[in-house]
Chain A
Amino acid sequence: MSVDHKPALLLGYGNPARGDDGLGPALLEMIEEDRRQGRAPDSFNTLTDYQLQIEHVLDMQKRQLVVFIDASVSAAAPFDYSRLEPCRDNSYTSHAMSPAALLTVYEQVCGEPLPDAYLLGISAYQFDLGSSITARAYKHLGQARDFVRELLFQYV
């Protein structure tokens, strides 16, 4: 890794007040705890938000690896991990943005090579306001945590 680059970025997004939607932020909390306990390498940054937004491209600058972590209703259990390519958004509302669309904005705005970007979609089931993470999704969360720890060690 070049000394000019910042550490890998784990960007977990979702609303913790809506059940499994909070899987991304929950995974980041677990990984941060692993780091404190010495079970994960030290060299990575985490960032959490309700939704992806265009200004997140500024958080992605000067990095070689960015992993988006989200709840997914289409991922096969326990999780999917796939490489992302830029793709323009076709939404009719400003209320959400896809990781692929964010990469398109990055290309427009940052004028530097895209980082390697991946999506970790954790299989999710229930999103009601005020509900907790479901037991099934929580199991997936544990498996995703092991995967991310291993990924970070490999990256370092």
Chain B
Amino acid sequence: MVHPRETEIDALETAQQPDKLKRVVIEPLTRVEGHGKVTLLLDDDNHVKQARLHIVEFRGFEKFIQGRPYWELPVIVQRLCGICPVSHHLAAAKATDQLIGVKSLTPTAEKVRRLMHLGQVLQSHALHFFHLSSPDLLFGYDDAVAHRNIVGVLADYPEVATQGVMLRKFGQEVIRITSGKRIHGTGAVPGGVNKSLGSEERDYLLADIDQVIEWGEAAVALTKRLFMQDLDHNRNFALIDTNMLSLGREDGAMDLYHGGLRLKDASGKIVIDNLDYLGYGEHIHEQVKSWSYMKFPFVTGLGPEHGSYRVGPLARVNNCDFIDTPLAEAARVEFRALVEGGLVQSTLAYHWARMVELLYCAEGIRDLLHDPDLMGSELRLRGEMQHTGIGVLEAPRGTLFHHYEIDDDGLVTRANLIVSTTNNNSAMNQSIRRVALDQLDGRELTEPLLNSIEVAIRAYDPCLSCATHALGKMPLEVELVDESGEVLDRLFRNSQGVVGVC
């Protein structure tokens, strides 16, 4: 049954008479391309009639990659994103494994890659929570009582910023040791890896791992406390009911590197399970909408109206049956207890789920470091060349698809990527519509209310294909335009956080 609120949310995708409405634009201009923009159409009484999130995704990638030899792919795709290059590196490496006919790697190669991947997810999650999301949960409210409560919680965690940096640093060290470099690493190659770990490298990482796990436990405890501190708000803020998609191990365990696709519907029922991702093209299509540069993926069996889904930490922690490391598993059980029987659908629960995964990564790194296969010498395999390669993994922000076609000379003829943020496109749009309905409808426009929309977007940590970052752009601009197109008002927040009126 469709909840009445859902109908209201969906109705905000397209207004019936948009030309008769005022337009509000929230445009964070931090990027030359890949910037996000929110447009709100309001009627004369400031009732929201339409809400849309626009994100410009990769441009020119196919052209950039076409004609390149397949073996360059794991290296060159790192240039797509300055934040998650390792995810692209490994997804491309998995695709090139298939291109050279390798169906499974040596134990050493697979474990080195898994270690690299866990290091990447750990450092990405640490950055997002400790230096981006926690301010939302700690300071992001307009409500004085909530703010006071949250500051009280923070007082118990004075070391949050330092831990964030040290966790990032540890994750970077895992990446450096497994890929050979701090950035632009070449660790994963078609059919395997080009290095394993030496005992000194293993011991170097082991020296800090217990501390990292301890910080991970503290991070989970902090996010839980923050969430429970203002439960009603956090549970309902930007709340939407969606399907959830993720990779997972065959036995139902969380697995970020490899596995089959699982889709649960909004009620928690498994709709697709253990689907070989090589067949993703038959099950996932991308809908084009005239108003958005970014496509809207959906599960074909459910159709475009009901087949959209969420990916990322919230989906993964909801979808898996268990986590095979003890502390993270205990944290998962506590997290899932938020909702009896169904899925945790609260958008702000992304932050909590993200820290459950951070703890899982820390424990997983420890377990791998104790595995002697990491120091093995069988690094690469080779098979019979194929023309198609598809690599899928769970990047920090969600499921990431890399699909390449090559010709007989090994040159790329076609490339298709579905990145995590594209997978979350529908959900992010629904979330801002929910915020618009709950917080903007019928009120005057204010900066804190508009900030709520950013809080909803930030929960997903969207990737903005922002391997560019040139200075000199304003991060936030709001325009109020009347039905004739005249700008009535403009609000901006510059890079120093100053809000002003032009």
A interface residues, Cβ below 8 angstroms from B: 13-18, 20-21, 48-51, 53-55, 57-58, 70-75, 87-96, 98, 100, 105, 108-109, 119, 121, 124, 127-130
Known interface pairs A15-B82, A93-B462, A94-B127; 12 further A-B residue pairs with C-beta atoms within 8 A, sorted by A's residue number? A49-B82, A50-B85, A54-B164, A70-B469, A70-B470, A74-B473, A90-B475, A94-B124, A95-B81, A96-B31, A108-B162, A124-B470
Query: Are A49 and B183 closer than 8 Å at their CB atoms?
Result: yes
Which B446-464 residues have C-beta < 8 A from chain A?
Answer: 454-455, 457-458, 461-464
Binds A, one of B14-22, B59-67, B235-243: B59-67
B137 shortest CB reach to chain A, Å: 14
From B58, B82, B85, residue with most partner A Cβ within 10 Å: B82
* Residue of A70, A96, A130 touching B60 (CB-CB under 8 A): A130
With a cutoff of 8 Å between Cβ atoms, the chain A residues found around residue B495 in the complex are 87, 90, 98, 100
Q: Taking A49-B82, A88-B497, A94-B128 as contacts, is the C-beta distance between A73 and B169 under 8 angstroms?
A: no
Minimum C-beta distance from A17 to chain B (A): 4
Interface residues of A, dominant DSSP = loop
Which listed residue, B36, B165, B467, B471, touches A73 by the CB 8 Å rule?
Answer: B471
Contact indicator A55/B472 (Cβ below 8 Å): no
Contact in complex: A75, B472 (CB < 8 Å): yes
Inter-chain CA distance A20–B384, complex, in Å, is 41
* B467 close to A50 (CB less than 8 A): yes
CB-nearest residue of chain A to B28: A92
Interface bits B65-109 vs A (CB < 8 Å: 1, else 0): 000000000001001111101000000000000000000000000
Which of A21, A94, A105, A124 is B461 in contact with, Cβ under 8 Å?
A94
Report A-chain residues with C-beta under 8 Å of the C-beta of B83: 50-51, 94-95
Count chain B CB atoms within 10 A of each CB in A50, A51, A75, A124 and give the residue with the most: A50
B302 near A: Cβ within 8 Å? no
Interface contact B165-A57, CB-CB below 8 Å: yes
Are the CB atoms of A71 and B60 closer together than 8 Å? no
Interface pair A87/B496, CB less than 8 Å apart: yes
Instruction: Give B contacts to A, CB under 8 Å.
Output: 28, 30-33, 36, 58-61, 63-64, 76, 79-83, 85, 123-124, 127-128, 130-132, 161-162, 164-165, 168-169, 172, 182-183, 454-455, 457-458, 461-464, 466-473, 475-476, 493, 495-497
Q: Is the CB of A130 within 8 A of B472?
A: no
* Structural contact, B168 and A73, CB atoms closer than 8 A: no
Assuming the A-B contacts A94-B461, A96-B469, are A50 and B183 also in contact, with contact meaning beta carbons closer than 8 angstroms in the complex?
yes
A58 surroundings in chain B (CB, below 8 A): 165, 169
Q: Is B33's CB under 8 angstroms from A109's CB?
A: no
Known: A50-B183, A91-B475, A92-B454. A129 touches B36 (CB 8 A): no
Do B463 and A95 have beta carbons less than 8 Å apart? yes
B471 adjacent to A121 (CB under 8 Å): yes
Q: How far is the CA of A58 from the CA of B476 in the complex (A)?
A: 29
For B468, the chain A residues whose CB sits under 8 A away are: 14-15, 18, 21, 127
* Cα A108 to Cα B470 with chains together (Å): 25
User: Given known contacts A50-B85, A72-B472, A87-B496, is B162 in contact with A21 (CB within 8 Å)?
Assistant: no
A95 touches B466 (CB 8 A): yes
7 contacts between A and B (CB under 8 A): A90-B493, A91-B132, A93-B457, A93-B458, A93-B464, A98-B471, A130-B64
Chain A residues, Cβ within 8 Å of B30: 91, 93, 96
Enumerate chain A residues within 8 angstroms of B183, measured Cβ to Cβ. Answer: 48-50
Q: What are the nearest 3 A-B pairs in CB distance?
A: A74-B472, A50-B82, A17-B79
- In the assembled complex, the Cα of A1 lies from the Cα of B196 at a distance in Å of 42
Complex Cα spacing A5 to B82, Å? 30
Give bound CA distance, A17 to B77, whole Å. Answer: 10
Contact call B472/A94, Cβ cutoff below 8 A:
no
Closest beta carbon of chain A to B424's beta carbon, Å: 13
Which of B36, B182, B473 interacts with A92 by CB under 8 Å? B36
Between B164, B458, B462, B470, the greatest number of chain A beta carbons within 10 A of the residue's beta carbon is seen for B470
**Nearest-neighbor residue (CB-CB) of A13 within chain B:** B469
Q: CB within 8 A of B472: which of A48, A73, A91? A: A73
> CA of A48 to CA of B471 in the docked complex: distance in angstroms?
17
How far is A130 from B467 in the complex, measured between Cα atoms in Å? 12
